[in-house]
Chains A and B, each alone.
Chain A
Amino acid sequence: MTKNYFIIGLALTGLMLLGGGCSQSDTSLVIDFFNSWAQTRGITDKNGNPTASSIWYVATGQTTGNDQTDAAIDAGQVIKSIKDADAKVAKADVALAKKPPDNVTAMANIDSALTGRPKDQTIRTRKGVLLLETGQGSKAAAPYLAINSAKCSGAIEAMTQGQVERCYDQIQAEVNEMASANIRAYDAKSKPRCAVLTAQRAGRQQMYYLSKRMNFLDPQDDPMFAYGYLGGGQMDCMP
């Protein structure tokens, strides 16, 4: 009996070691890749020893001399802050999904997310929408509802087709976020908030000009689209 337990124990230990080895093999594979890459780039010699240039590279802070390349390699800290903020926004979502919604916990989480990423427009939009939903007024919400995207920086005429498309998508996502806030306001049998409508209208104007730039619009349909995007549907709203 004791012998059987011993054999089972040994087998389990073996499996655990094997399992541990498997999970670690991917990391060794990455280190092997690094060694192969380092040799190709002249960072190490054929014996795997660092070359003089690599010692200089390490001692000077491992910069490549290209800002974009350094930023891509060095994105870890930025990624960590995005991940932390997104986790807090997810907690806010859980609090808002409760019946009745736990607005206090949601706001605390959104505020905490904004502490780490104060200029992150996606989180700022969430804060603006939440302020409106909790009845704290358009004045308080307006600063958070500005459409501000790097994809849309610069004149539309100077943008490439790809940039225009990405800018359009980004604005559409932000306008949709605001629209959903207004729909929630309707559910509460109240008028839409003016700040949201103003921000939505600004977004739709940008979308209209971007559509024209992308040649999405047939000249004959243009007046109809212009009405929809630029001035149509002026609604009564609450300050």
Chain B
Amino acid sequence: MDTPKKNESNKKTTIIETPKKKHWFLKGCLIFFVLLIVLIGSAFAMAFRLPQKWGIVKSPAEKVFDDTPDRTSAKKVTAELKKSGMSTKGLDVYVLPLKDGSGEVAVVTLDASQGFAFSGTAGGDPFLGTMAAIAKTQLTNNATLKRVALDYKDETGATIFSATAPTGPILDFANGKISRDIFMKSIDGRLDIKNTVDRYQRNPLY
């Protein structure tokens, strides 16, 4: 008589435990799924720099640069580049002093939609040549120019590639003291993924 009772109680135990396990399995799956979505969403937001675009996070530029750009120096540099034979159509120079007062950064926009085209003076490697031409202007006379940045916009005015390098390596490259490969290693940059994808969708040939 005892044996069947034991079996019954065993059966009962089995019946009760099965839904609990399922319940926890489903909960675990849901948590994993939510975490995965959050992770992918965050990666997407970070890759497209959405927090900065939406103004949730202050961009590094707002934190580092002073509120007043040096317009006088920018005008002088543009005039100097023009005098050296470089076409300044679609080229805008901005000299941005650092908030800590230690120097400034020259940011140059090269806007193909405004008629910018790499000119002959830039030499065999137009992008690096343009960077070198800017670093060679009077901005470097007083050794407070920390770095040069180029921001290239395509014929629709969308930023494609931004790159920057410290003044020292740029001048070393311009004066033939370091090779192109070594100089390339001192450059930091960013390809605008969204704009580049849009561009390829518009015209896969370019």
Contacts and interface: CB of A to CB of B under 8 A. Distances in A.
Interface in A66-113: 66-79, 82-83, 86
Interface stretch (A30-38, A128-136, A179-187): A30-38
Contacts of B188: 64, 66, 69, 72-73
B98 interface: yes
A38 B141 CA distance: 31
B25 to A, nearest CB: 29
Interface stretch (B3-11, B28-36, B45-53): B45-53
Contacts of B103: 162-163
Contact of A71 (B65, B203, B206): B65
B189 interface: yes
Interface stretch (B13-21, B169-177, B179-187): B179-187
A30 B160 contact: yes
Interface stretch (A4-12, A21-29, A190-198, A222-230): A21-29
A46 B66 CA distance: 40
20 contacts: A24-B203, A27-B154, A27-B160, A31-B161, A62-B49, A67-B60, A72-B149, A72-B164, A72-B188, A74-B59, A75-B94, A77-B59, A77-B62, A78-B96, A82-B94, A149-B97, A151-B97, A159-B101, A163-B102, A166-B144
Q: Bin chain B's interface residue count.
A: 35 or more
A67 B99 CA distance: 12
Interface of B: 43, 46-47, 49, 52, 59-73, 92, 94, 96-105, 107, 109, 112, 116-118, 125-128, 141-144, 146-147, 149, 151-152, 154-155, 159-164, 181, 184-185, 187-191, 193, 196, 199, 203, 206
A40 B64 CA distance: 28
A30 B152 contact: yes
A150 B61 contact: no
A170 B70 contact: yes
A18 to B, nearest CB: 14
A117 interface: yes
A52 B129 CA distance: 31
Nearest to B97: A150
A24 B101 contact: no
Contacts of A77: 52, 59, 61-62
Given A79-B151, A150-B99, 11 more contacts: A26-B126, A27-B112, A33-B126, A60-B46, A68-B98, A71-B65, A72-B105, A73-B149, A76-B61, A119-B67, A173-B72
Interface of A: 23-24, 26-31, 33-34, 36-38, 40-41, 58-64, 66-79, 82-83, 86, 117, 119-122, 148-154, 159-163, 165-166, 169-170, 173
A41 B203 contact: no
A82 B103 CA distance: 19
Contacts of A152: 101
A164 to B, nearest CB: 9
Contacts of A62: 46-47, 49, 190
Contacts of A63: 60
Nearest to A151: B97
A132 B139 CA distance: 34
B190 A40 contact: no
Contacts of A60: 46
B142 A37 contact: no
Contacts of B149: 72-73, 75
B60 A150 contact: no
A157 to B, nearest CB: 13
A68 B147 CA distance: 9
Nearest to B69: A82
Given A34-B189, A40-B181, A169 B112 contact: no
A156 to B, nearest CB: 11
A58 B194 CA distance: 12
